[in-house]
Structure 1
Amino acid sequence: MNPDTKLRNMTAIYISWGSEMLMLYRIGSRVVEPSWCGIGGHFEQTELNDPKACVLRELFEEINLGENDLENLQLRYVTLRLKKGEIRQNYYYFATLREDVELTMESEEGRVCWIPFDELLEKEMPLTAKQMLRHYMSVGRFNDKLYSGSTQENDMVFAELREF
C-alpha cells in the first residue's frame, strides 16, 4: 500500500416509509458524480469515533430531521473500498420515519424523493451503495444483523460482523 494512502470516512442513512425509501439525488459532491444515495456525508474531526453523531448531523443539515423523527435507527453495514488512492469506509444506517413526522422534500444537496423498493436498484448510484442496497433488499431488511462489506470491481463480499 502506498504510504500516502488517505482514509475517507463517510456515513449515510436510508429511511423507509411503507414500501418506499427516501433517497437523495446528490449534485455537487466532492466525491461522487451526480447520483442517487442516502442522506449523509463526511465525518467531522470530532466525529471520527462516532458514526452515529455524523449521520445525525448530516440528516439534520441536509433534510432537517432529528433522531426523534425516526424509529428503529440502526447501524447495519460497514463497507470498505479502495478508490483514487483512498480507503473509503462507509457506515450505513437504516431507520423508519415516524408516522407523525412531516418531511421537507427540499435540500441544498440535491433532490429528495421517495423511491419504491422495487425501483431502488434501477437508480444510478455509487457502486458501494448499490451493492450494499442490493444485499439489504434481499437479505438485510429481513433481520437486524450488522454486516461488513468489501467492495470488489463489480461486486461486494459480505460477512456478518459479530462480537466474539
Structure 2
Amino acid sequence: MTAKLRNMTSLYLVNGEGILLLYRIGSRVADHLYVGSAGGHFEAHELNDAKACVLREAKEELDLDETDLHNLAMRYITLRLKNGEIRQNYYFFADLGSHADLTSTEGKLALFDYEEAAQVEMPVSARNVVDHYIREGKYTAELYAGITTEQGTSFVPLREF
C-alpha cells in the first residue's frame, strides 16, 4: 500500500475545570465538529517541528504567542489510516489562564467542563484523545502514542530508551 501522509497539530487549552473547544466551520477534515482550540496542517518548513506548527496555528487562529501558552506540552501523537492517508496528529495542551474571552478565525470557541466535553461530537482521533485526557492524561505529564482503529485508539506512554 502506498499512502500519503497528512501531518496535523491541535492545541487544547485547559483549566482545572474544563477544556476550550472549537466548533470548526469550513474545514475539509472536521467541518461542523468540535476540535481543539486551534490547529491545522503542517507547512513544508515545519515537517520536523510540530511545536512550530502549533505555535503558528495558535497565532493565526487565536492571536496567541508562545508566551501566552503556559505549560505548553505535546501530550499525544496518533496515527490513523483514512481515505488512503496516514494521518499523523500531534496534540498539544496548555493552560487556559486568563484567556477565557478568546475568539477564533476558524469557528466558534466554547469552554466545556470535562463531563460536557466527553459528550460533544468530534473526529474519532480527537474524541479518543480527549476521552483519554479526561480519564488519565490530565493527571500525568506523559507523552502518549496512539494507533486508531475501528475499535478506538490504543494509547501507550511514549518513553525514551
What does residue 21 of structure 2 align with? 23
What does residue 36 of structure 1 align with? 34
What does residue 80 of structure 1 align with? 79
What does residue 123 of structure 1 align with? 120
User: 3-state SS of the aligned residue for 1:133?
Assistant: helix
1:65-144 aligned at under 5 Å gives the runs: 65-99=64-98, 102-144=99-141
Any runs of at least 4 consecutive aligned residues in structure 1 with deviations exceeding 6 A, and if so which? Answer: none
What does residue 9 of structure 1 align with? 7
- Which amino acid counterpart does residue 22 of structure 1 have in structure 2? L
- 1:18-63 per-residue CA deviation (whole Å, 9 max, x = no partner) reads 3021110001111123100001000000100000000010011011
- Which amino acid counterpart does residue 142 of structure 1 have in structure 2? Y
- Which amino acid counterpart does residue 94 of structure 2 have in structure 1? A
The CA distance in 2 between the partners of 1:114 and 1:68, in whole Å, is 21
The answer to whether the Cα contact below 8 Å between 1:22 and 1:115 also exists between their aligned partners in 2 is yes
TM-score for the superposition, normalised by structure 1: 0.93
1:156 aligns with 2:153: yes
Structure 1: segments with no counterpart, 5+ residues: none
TM-score for the superposition, normalised by structure 2: 0.95
- Which amino acid counterpart does residue 64 of structure 1 have in structure 2? D
The CA distance in 2 between the partners of 1:25 and 1:118, in whole Å, is 17
Aligned-pair CA distance for 1:104: 4.6
User: 3-state SS of the aligned residue for 1:122?
Assistant: coil
The CA distance in 1 between the partners of 2:100 and 2:131, in whole Å, is 26
Aligned-pair CA distance for 1:121: 1.2
The range that moved more, 86-95 or 59-68, is 59-68
The CA distance in 2 between the partners of 1:78 and 1:23, in whole Å, is 19
The CA distance in 1 between the partners of 2:61 and 2:151, in whole Å, is 30
CA RMSD after TM alignment:
1.2
The answer to whether the Cα contact below 8 Å between 1:8 and 1:88 also exists between their aligned partners in 2 is yes
Identity %: 51
What does residue 143 of structure 2 align with? 146
The CA distance in 1 between the partners of 2:71 and 2:151, in whole Å, is 31
- Which amino acid counterpart does residue 56 of structure 1 have in structure 2? L
